[in-house]
Amino acid sequence: MVEQGRYTRYLLLHSIGTENYTVSQLGPNRTVMTTTSTSSDRGKKRTTTSTLEMGALCAPTLLEQSSTGTSDGESLTQVSGDTVSVREGATSRTLTKPVIAFVGSESMSASVQMMMMRYWKLHHQPARLPILRASDGGLPLEIKLVGYESFSVKGRMIRLNRYTVANLMFGHEILWMNDSGRLAALMTFAGGLPQEEVLEGYEPVEGELVRSGVRQEMLELDDLDREVPEQAAGSFAIVGARLIDGTGAPAVENSAVVVQNGRIVAAGPLAAVSVPAGMRVIHAEGESLLPGLWRCMSTIRGWSLGRRCWLRA
């Protein structure tokens, strides 16, 4: 055994479980990592075990995962030369291995993500990193170095690099790596609520890491605002869209929504709504229109989903 570690898992800042991993060297170019994660949340107990085998430069050759108490089930990814076979539950496929790619599953543990980051760095930090999955619809990961942290832990200064990882799970994950290539902590919104995993020894700065993660999420929201500028403000009308009001009522085809001074004053079928003469009209035929806070979740990443809608009502 050449490495071992233990993570504490948090949900809404409360400890809900642990993750333990060991890394063993089986030969000059063969390494295996075994991981066991346990958690107990609102009466539900979950246990996940995984085995990750790697060759030279952290190149993955096998990832096997099984879970109890969760819908994730079992998954198996095997790399043999240029051929990859992936099975996740009842879904499977065989594909040609890309030159650069890593393995993954529906719920990647902190330790597997740590090896993913080592692989990414050893392969010159590609802008896009494909993940070998049973579905071919997944987007490649986008890993970015976004900042640095310095903390004092038991009288010793430590320095962490902060990264964001897009397209791995719901929203962006935030990872902190130390100078030894170990994943010190992560923050994810995979379950719709903020979750963290913190490596043993970094618990004294867990609160500071969470605050840093929240600040990073707010920066992500600012980026989304810049990517999706307002199409109209003040007084205008949107006509021709399929209107879904979020109340459960049937959708209104060929609708009209009238906004005056930033407030909705009329909405319904175009034939029944009077659009003031001279008002700016936005034609939205073939589009769907819904309230900006429809299905908005009370998490930061949920707010970003709400901001992408046409109209903030």
Q: What CATH number does the domain containing 290 carry?
A: 2.30.40.10
Q: What is the mean pLDDT of the chain?
A: 89
Three-state SS sequence of the chain: CCEEEEEEEEECCEEEEEEEEEEEEEECCEEEEEEEEEEEECCEEEEEEEEEEECHHHCEEEEEEEEECCCCCCEEEEEECCEEEEEECCEEEEEECCCCCEECCCCCCHHHHHHHHHHHHHCCCCCCECEECCCCCCCCEEEEEEEEEEEEECCEEEEEEEEEEECCCCCEEEEEEECCCCEEEEEECCCCCCEEEEECCCHHHHHHHHHHHHHHHHHHHHHHHHHCCCCCCCCEEEECCEECCCCCCCCECCEEEEEECCEEEEEEEHHHCCCCCCCCEEECCCCEECECCCCCCCCHHHHHHHHCCCECC
Domain check: are 293 and 184 in the same one?
no
Domain check: are 302 and 160 in the same one?
no
Residues 6+ apart with CB under 8 A from 24: 1, 2, 31, 32, 33, 34
| Mean pLDDT lowest among 3-12, 173-182, 197-206, 289-298 | 289-298
Tokens coding 75: 């998954």
53-94 pLDDT, tens digit per residue, is 999 999 999 999 999 977 767 999 999 999 999 999 899 999
Domain check: are 216 and 247 in the same one?
no
Number of domains composing the chain: 2
Domain containing residue 285: 236-307
Residue 295 lies in a domain: yes
Residue 33 lies in a domain: yes
Residue 182 lies in a domain: yes
Query: How many CA within 13 A on the CB side of residue 296?
Result: 15
Tokens coding 68: 């109890």
Domain check: are 132 and 267 in the same one?
no
Q: How many CB atoms lie within 10 A of CB 1?
A: 8
Domain check: are 264 and 135 in the same one?
no
What average pLDDT does this structure show over 10-30? 94
Residue 313 lies in a domain: no
Residue 125 lies in a domain: yes
Tokens coding 108: 């990647």
Q: 88, 71 in Cβ contact below 8 A?
A: no
Dist. CA 83–CA 26, nearest whole Å: 23
Domain check: are 267 and 167 in the same one?
no
Q: 304, 221 in Cβ contact below 8 A?
A: yes
Residue 312 lies in a domain: no
**Which of 227, 247, 276 corresponds to the end of one domain?**
227
Residue 84 lies in a domain: yes
Domain check: are 173 and 240 in the same one?
no
Residue 70 lies in a domain: yes
Looking at residue 298, its pLDDT comes to 42
Give residue 224's pLDDT band: very low, low, confident or very high (50, 70, 90).
Answer: confident
Q: Check pLDDT > 80 for residue 225.
A: no
Domain check: are 138 and 220 in the same one?
yes
Domain check: are 132 and 23 in the same one?
yes
Looking at residue 299, its pLDDT comes to 42
**Which of 227, 252, 278 corresponds to the end of one domain?**
227
Q: In the chain, what percentage of residues exceed pLDDT 70?
A: 91
Q: Check pLDDT > 90 for residue 301.
A: no
Sheet containing 263-269: which strands, arranged edge to edge? 263-269, 255-260, 236-239, 281-283
Burial class (CB in 10 A: 0-12, 13-18, 19+), 242: middle
Domain check: are 211 and 247 in the same one?
no
Cα dihedral value 41, 42, 47, 50, nearest 10: -40
β-bridge partners, 258: 237, 266
Domain check: are 58 and 101 in the same one?
yes
**Which of 166, 197, 227 corresponds to the end of one domain?**
227
Q: What distance, in Å, lies between the first and last C-alpha atoms of the chain?
A: 58
Domain check: are 219 and 245 in the same one?
no
Its pTM stands at 0.79
